[in-house]
Amino acid sequence: MKYTLQDIIFGLIKTIVLLVVLEIITTALLPALGISGFKPAFNVLIVLFLAFKLDTPLLPFLILIIQYTHSVFSIEGWAVGTFTGIFISISVKYIKDQLNFSSAISTIIVVQIFQILWFLCVATMFSIKLGSFSNFFPMMIGYIPESIFLSIISHFFFKLLDNFWQLNRRSSGMAY
């Protein structure tokens, strides 16, 4: 599918607005309600969606913009997230044809696998940077509930992003 620059810009603007709203909810609203240890990484879901569904040479720049927006609300650096997102996108590109998103269960399983791969990449880079792998497993234990939550909602989240990027209209041949 070919995308015009206008298609990409409008889809990206809608996606960034959604990301900012979700980041405000997870960084301000949830802690205000007493839920401080739970911060799902919606940016990972967005990058996975882009990697799975969009076929454009601008994908690395889209990932950079998503990660840069996420870094405003997080201590995670945009560079590590961008590098990991591009690495995951390349991995997805090679196995995209074997992936099936026809059911919610298949989407949940595939998204969970790639979230674990994402975590392994980011945690390894942070551990190397810190010079110690002592926090690797405690970080993983903390990440698992968040990743399961994101995997469970991924099917519905991807449908929402399909509408933002108007993928259903494109795949049925309808112009907008």
d(CA 72, CA 7): 25
Q: What is the pLDDT of residue 172?
A: 43
pLDDT at 167 over 70: no
32 conformational bin, left if phi > 0, alpha if psi -120 to 50, beta if neither: alpha
pTM of the model: 0.88
Q: What is the pLDDT of residue 2?
A: 72
Determine the average pLDDT of the residues in 22-40: 89
Q: What is the pLDDT of residue 38?
A: 86
Nearest to 43 by CA among 135, 126, 122, 128: 122
Residues, the chain: 176
Determine the average pLDDT of the residues in 118-143: 88
Taking CA atoms, 95 is separated from 18, 140, 141, in Å, by 28, 25, 28
pLDDT at 12 over 70: yes
